[in-house]
Amino acid sequence: MQQILSVSELTLNIKNRLESAFPTVTVRGEISNFRLPASGHIYMTLKDEDAQIPAVIWKNVRLRLPAELRDGMEIIAAGRLEVYPPSGRYQLICTSLTLAGEGMLQQAFAMLLQKLAAAGYFNVEHKKPLPAYPETIALVTSPTGAVIKDMGDVLSRRFPAASLLLYPVKVQGEGAVNNIIDALEYFNTTTVDQHRPDLIIVARGGGSLEDLQAFNEERVAMAIFHSSIPVISAVGHETDFTIADMVADVRAGTPSIAAEIAVPDKEELLQKINTLAQRQLSSLNTRIDGAEREIDSLTGSYAFNRPKVLCKQLDAEITTIIGFMSRSLKGRIEHIEQRFSAAEGRLSLLDYRNVLRRGFALIKTESGYITTSRDMARKKRASAVFYDGEIPIMTDGSDKGDEQVQDPHEY
């Protein structure tokens, strides 16, 4: 007898068998019936020419999508099958998603380009200037291949003074986006001074649009835009353009060109230094010549030489005054000498020795000179002073009275 199952039992049986039979599945199809309700989950249908399947993208997965989805886009969705009992239908739970075909990638590129342009991410005012002489340069690229070697050779040749830091990343495929974002975040947040670069170069070689897809991701564009350190993007060949190129502060056609842009040429720098030194020397010599001419002009000017002329005039006047004073003093001295001579002559007339020389004598006693005969009569001892000497004389010692003294005029 055949077993009779309830709807729930049959649905649960189908659910168990279907989900265990298809734990993982990858499906390619075109999006239709796209819906994005307030919950943030995406509900849609994947279809091809002959069939369709409902699909769900939960919000946490949607936030990591490479581009905004819409009806008509062809995608490759990886996930698992799940039966939803309330509606009795199965659906694809998408755990990852990529755009299918280069045309779809171009479409996603155009959509993101339009979105970022409207937000001002490409505006010139947001571009940071590159340092003229970077001391430390960070390279965000694959550690293998020609790119790292080419950039290292150019940087070493042009500006060997710069230190290089390599943050090795995957530049395509799974994990590339996260690697690039982690590198930019590290250099912008590191507290190690030696690991804090003045400039970041994000680079990879050429490739297809799918190969370059990591550099067309919105998350990478946001990381470059919000970097506080200037970023040069050098992705692919000169004809390749990525979102990273347009968001970066400077776009370089190739990694080698990025290295050329990043640093000055040491030879040009040395030539510039030499030119500046010559210019400074020439300017200094010109200033010295000008100063010498100015000094010559000043020393030859009337104002500069007036003190010298005045000094010469004063010197001449002083010489004249000294001569005048010398002559005047000499004349006064001669006049005084003449007066002294005259006075000396007059004094010599009064000198008693000159009188004695004419035959006179002085009578001298112990108490002084005798001027009258009466005084002489009272003295017993006296001396006669002649011109050439003195001799003692004696008196008789008698006092004959005043009447005995005769007036010398009687003779």
Q: In this predicted structure, what is the pLDDT of residue 411?
A: 37
Least confident of 152-161, 177-186, 307-316, 389-398: 389-398
Q: In this predicted structure, what is the pLDDT of residue 309?
A: 77
Give the residue among 31, 221, 34, 208 at the shortest CA–CA distance from 112. 221
Give the residue among 7, 15, 59 at the shortest CA–CA distance from 36. 59
Positive or negative, the CA dihedral 215, 216, 219, 222 is: positive
Q: In this structure, what DSSP letter does residue 155 have?
A: H
Confidence check: pLDDT of 66 > 90: no
pLDDT tens digits, 91-133? 999 998 877 765 667 777 878 888 888 889 999 999 999 999 9
Higher-pLDDT residue of 225 and 300 is 225
Distances in Å between the alpha carbon of 11 and those of 3, 45, 310? 15, 21, 128
Q: In this predicted structure, what is the pLDDT of residue 254?
A: 92
Residue 109 to residue 264: CA distance in whole angstroms: 34
The pTM of this model reads: 0.51
Radius of gyration of the CA atoms of the chain, in A: 66
- β-pairing, 74-84 vs 25-35, is antiparallel
Confidence check: pLDDT of 406 > 50: no
Note whether 225 and 97 are within 8 A (CB).
no
Q: In this predicted structure, what is the pLDDT of residue 404?
A: 44
What crossing angle do the helices spanning 266-300 and 302-350 adopt, rounded to 10°? 40
Q: In this predicted structure, what is the pLDDT of residue 102?
A: 57
All structural domains of the chain, each given as residue ranges with its CATH number in brackets, are 7-100 (2.40.50.140), 134-264 (3.40.50.261), 354-410 (no CATH)
Q: In this predicted structure, what is the pLDDT of residue 156?
A: 93
Which range, 95-109, 151-165, 237-251, 381-395, is most confident?
A: 151-165
- As a whole number, mean pLDDT of residues 25-37 equals 92
The residue type found at 82 is: E
